[in-house]
């Protein structure tokens, strides 16, 4: 007999031997009926006599009990062996509730508005993980459901064999970190970059920015909140020696019903590096997570273009573009922002990099109108305004604003000059934004060259089926006769 057969034979004999006590434990109480098994002897106080003058129990009398009860009290180790989890079936948690669409899902767009979802027949708590079925009842996958939000359903997985749990989200978190660390190798250029980019990394509602020695974790979906503790522990192992700050955007908190975490300390400040530049950043404060990591590639490009040019940086925020242009050898740099509270941080960044920048407070539209009337010109103009549209209902007005702003900028741009125009409005797509820029220069004579179009860096990956993830659009133009 072979070795394998001997092992199998031995396994079967042992299994049979181990099964005998279990069978006895299960069936002896039924077959033996009144037969009892002696229990432990205990001394108890005398009780009142029963019928016939006999006591119900006497001191020292041995108590008797059924075999099954004796087994559980006198032989706990034996009971544990046969009824331990490895020898019994583990009860699985109930499956997630079902949410059904009113439509047949086409493509793999991960967002579904409330009007495309049938009202569940049973109560589904906001933020629940749900199984998703289409109009015909076909299973599609799993996602986060929040009936109070405009986009009520966010798909997490389209695979039938995947469950939305901490294990799945942790694997995606690990993949996101590997992308930045091993493939993009961003640490060679900067220590300020996006580590997790929501839908683009398969982690809807979760954004993580690495800002120097601090990780800023931003949660945007109620469904992601229950997984934060587990993902936070995993994140600390993947990216050790980092502090961590948790933030929630005010608008997201209102829409999703999130409870905002306590604000980070006001005095929390770190230095980040980006190429030759150094910036003081307050993690979790100001706009976004405290620093616009998405404009890194455009800032470095502006530095290369700036040599010998007169630069105008509009909506400068903490002075990122202005610093890079000054370090790139610009002849002069003027920076403008409407937010008076952010100007001291911009000045601190200018001092830290030992660059000369003229910093002004004002509205970009008003400044450009006055500059055009005065006949002023610049060789490089940077337009990086805040979002003009958050929803589709604001798109038309936003396009008009982009067209007006770019027209004013084109007026103050010298011949041979460069214009960097940006839009971070999610519902304004690349083609629509380019149409607005095209409309802005149509009334001018001469040539408008498009040198490059782009957006955020590769640490902000796009979801192939969700064009809204390309929220940042950029275009470089040159003005020629």
Active site residue 424: yes
Structure confidence at residue 90 as a pLDDT band (50, 70, 90): low
Q: What is the pLDDT of residue 134?
A: 94
82 pLDDT more than 70? no
Collect all residues with Cβ–Cβ distance below 8 Å to 255 and sequence separation of at least 6: 148, 149, 150
CB 278 within 8 A of CB 222: no
Check whether residue 458 and residue 402 sit in a common domain.
yes
Q: pTM for the full model?
A: 0.78
C-alpha closest to that of 424 among 479, 383, 465: 383
pLDDT per residue over 125-148, tens digit each? 999 999 999 999 999 999 999 999
Among 235, 259, 286, the domain-final residue is 286
Q: What is the pLDDT of residue 91?
A: 66
56 pLDDT more than 70? no
CATH number of the domain residue 111 falls in: 2.30.130.10
Question: Quick one: tokens of 21?
Answer: 């006590």
Structure confidence at residue 14 as a pLDDT band (50, 70, 90): very low
pLDDT, mean of residues 309-332: 98
pLDDT per residue over 255-264, tens digit each? 999 988 998 8
DSSP lists the bridge partners of residue 192 as 211
Check whether residue 246 and residue 388 sit in a common domain.
no
CB 210 within 8 A of CB 238: no
Cβ atoms < 10 Å from Cβ of 50: 10
Among 263, 286, 309, the domain-final residue is 286
Is the dihedral angle over the CA atoms 183, 184, 189, 191 positive or is it negative? negative
| From 315, 422, 424, 466, active-site residue | 424
Q: What is the pLDDT of residue 93?
A: 76
Among 322-336, 365-379, 380-394, name the one with the lowest average pLDDT. Answer: 380-394
Check whether residue 317 and residue 377 sit in a common domain.
yes
Q: Count the domains in the chain.
A: 3
Question: Quick one: tokens of 402?
Answer: 């982009």
Structure confidence at residue 89 as a pLDDT band (50, 70, 90): low
Instruction: Determine the structural domain holding residue 370 and report its residue range.
Output: 292-481
Higher pLDDT, residue 15 or 238: 238
Average predicted confidence (pLDDT) for the chain: 85
Question: Quick one: tokens of 46?
Answer: 């005398």
Among 266, 286, 306, the domain-final residue is 286
- Please report whether residue 188 resides in a domain: yes
pLDDT per residue over 181-224, tens digit each? 999 999 999 999 999 999 999 999 999 999 999 999 999 999 99
């Amino acid at each position: 007999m072979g070795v394998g057969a001997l092992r199998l034979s031995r396994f079967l004999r042992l299994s049979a031997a181990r099964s005998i006590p279990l069978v006895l434990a299960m069936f002896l109480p039924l077959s033996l009926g009144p037969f009892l098994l002696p229990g432990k002897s205990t001394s108890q106080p005398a009780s009142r006599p029963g019928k016939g003058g006999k006591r119900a129990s006497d001191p020292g009398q041995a108590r008797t009990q059924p075999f099954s009860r004796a087994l559980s009290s006198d032989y706990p180790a034996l009971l544990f062996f046969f009824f331990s989890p490895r020898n019994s079936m583990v009860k699985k948690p109930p499956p997630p509730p079902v949410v059904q669409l009113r439509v047949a899902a086409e493509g793999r767009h991960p967002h579904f508005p409330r009007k495309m979802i049938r009202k569940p027949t049973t109560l589904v708590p906001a933020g629940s993980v749900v199984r998703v079925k289409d109009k015909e009842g076909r299973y599609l996958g799993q996602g986060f459901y929040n009936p109070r939000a405009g986009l009520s359903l966010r798909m997490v997985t389209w695979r039938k064999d995947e469950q939305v749990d901490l294990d799945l989200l942790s694997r995606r978190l690990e993949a996101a970190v590997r992308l930045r660390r091993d493939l993009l190798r961003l640490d060679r250029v900067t220590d300020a970059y996006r580590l997790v980019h929501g839908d683009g990394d398969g982690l809807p509602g979760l954004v993580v920015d690495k800002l120097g020695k601090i990780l800023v974790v931003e949660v945007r979906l109620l469904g992601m909140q229950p997984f934060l503790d587990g993902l936070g522990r995993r994140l600390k192992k993947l990216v050790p020696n980092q502090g961590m700050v948790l933030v929630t955007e005010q608008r997201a908190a209102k829409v999703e019903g999130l409870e905002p975490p306590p604000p980070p300390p006001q005095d929390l400040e770190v230095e980040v590096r980006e190429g030759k530049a150094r910036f003081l950043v307050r993690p979790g404060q100001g706009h976004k997570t405290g620093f616009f990591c998405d404009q890194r590639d455009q800032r470095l490009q502006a530095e290369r273009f700036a040599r010998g040019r007169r630069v105008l940086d509009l909506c400068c925020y903490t002075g990122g573009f202005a610093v890079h242009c000054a370090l790139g050898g610009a002849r002069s740099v003027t920076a403008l922002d409407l937010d008076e509270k952010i100007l001291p941080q911009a000045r601190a960044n200018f001092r830290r990099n030992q660059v000369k920048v003229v910093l002004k407070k004002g509205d970009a539209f008003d400044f450009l109108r006055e500059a055009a009337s005065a006949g002023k010109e610049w060789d490089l103009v940077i337009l990086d305004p805040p979002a003009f549209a958050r929803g589709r209902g604001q798109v038309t007005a936003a396009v008009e604003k982009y067209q007006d702003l770019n027209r004013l900028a084109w007026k103050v741009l010298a011949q041979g000059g460069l214009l960097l125009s940006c839009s971070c409005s999610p519902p304004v797509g690349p083609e629509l934004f380019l149409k607005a820029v095209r409309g802005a220069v149509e009334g001018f004579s001469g040539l408008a060259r498009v040198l490059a179009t782009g957006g955020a860096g590769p640490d902000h990956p796009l979801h192939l089926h969700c064009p809204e993830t390309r929220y940042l659009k950029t275009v470089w133009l040159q003005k020629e006769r």
